[in-house]
Amino acid sequence: MSLPKLILVASLLASAHAGAQTLPVPSTAGTMVIVPANGEVRHANDQAIVTFAVEEFDKDKNAAAARVNRKMKEGTEIVRRADPKAELKTQGYYTYPVYPEPPVQPLPATRAPVKPVPSGWRVGQYLEVKTTNLGELPKTAAAAQKVLQINGISFGLAPATEKMLDDRRIAETYRNLNERIVSIARAMGRQPADATLDTVDFEGSGNYGGRPEMQSVMVAGSRMKAADDVMPEPSFEPGETTLQMRLVGKVKFK
């Protein structure tokens, strides 16, 4: 390449480099920034809701109901003695007929349909037990299982614990908002002191906030051993609960 051409190329490169260095930087004065933030807290579950059930079948409806009433009363008394502070609530009393299987061969078309006759009656009832005495729960459940059966169990947080965690969740979410404002200010070449918090939406429910997220995620499990002549205590794993929160802040720079 000739000397004049080399000089021309060098001049063009120098001009392009100089132009890139002198590009104007956009002003961020008066800029409104939408800042999402999230917070999360965890805590071991300290409350259990156990549903006990009793069900009886008999050709005599009254006989089935009588056994259900007796067993439910006995089971309720067992739970009250084992856990005096537990909250008990009976619910879901049901009675319905049980019919035999229909005959395989079809009936003649000329014969009127025969009204089915119940072969027996099924009667049952549920008992809900809410307790924070998780240490004695296996013993309480085993005692009640001598009369009732466990229909279901779930673990969660007691109201006082959930209130305490909600305070922490709000504080964690607001702290995350402040951290993100500082990071955004530095990325924009501004000082955090130049930012003014205009609006805080603690539910992220504004049009700018997207789908609101304020939820409780519960992780829990339970295991029950098989019954034997002597009822062994069931094994429970209460797990933990994770509380999450989202907020959206509107920040304005001077």
For residues 134 and 176, membership in a common domain is answered with: no
Residue 147 CB contacts under 8 Å (≥ 6 apart), including other chains: 54, 71, 74, 75, 78
> Does residue 11 lie in a domain region?
no
Tokens 């299987």 -> residue? 101
For residues 200 and 233, membership in a common domain is answered with: yes
> Which pairs from 72-80 meet CB under 8 Å and 24+ separation?
72/125, 72/127, 72/148, 74/147, 75/127, 75/144, 75/147, 75/148, 76/127, 78/143, 78/144, 78/146, 78/147, 79/52, 79/127, 79/129, 79/140, 79/143, 79/144
CA-based nearest residue to 141, from 157, 131, 94, 66 = 131
Rounded CA separation 30/34 (Å): 13
Element (H, E) at 36: strand 32-44
pTM above 0.75, yes or no: no
Pick out the chain residues at pLDDT < 50: 3, 6, 19-20, 208-228
Range of the domain at 244: 29-46+157-254
**Please, what sign has the CA dihedral across residues 187, 190, 193, 195?**
negative
Give residue 131's pLDDT.
97
Give residue 209's pLDDT.
43
Look up residue 11 and give its two tokens.
């001049």
Give residue 101's pLDDT.
81
Give residue 12's pLDDT.
57
Q: Are 122 and 57 in contact (CB under 8 A)?
A: yes
> Does residue 108 lie in a domain region?
no
Give residue 1's pLDDT.
53
- Concatenating the DSSP letter of every residue in 144-192 gives HTTTSEEEEEEEE--HHHHHHHHHHHHHHHHHHHHHHHHHHHHHTT--G
For residues 254 and 208, membership in a common domain is answered with: yes
For residues 162 and 83, membership in a common domain is answered with: no
Rounded CA separation 202/80 (Å): 42
Give residue 21's pLDDT.
52
> Does residue 218 lie in a domain region?
yes
CA-based nearest residue to 118, from 88, 96, 142, 143 = 96
> Does residue 6 lie in a domain region?
no
For residues 36 and 161, membership in a common domain is answered with: yes
Domain count, the chain: 2
Give residue 7's pLDDT.
54
Q: Are 100 and 119 in contact (CB under 8 A)?
A: yes
For residues 191 and 242, membership in a common domain is answered with: yes
Rounded CA separation 234/222 (Å): 9
> Does residue 202 lie in a domain region?
yes
The C-alpha torsion from 175 through 176 and 181 to 186, rounded to 10°, is: 110
CATH number for the domain including 169? 3.30.110
93-122 pLDDT, tens per residue? 999 999 988 766 665 655 666 778 888 999
Give residue 219's pLDDT.
43
Give residue 30's pLDDT.
81
CATH number for the domain including 142? 3.30.300
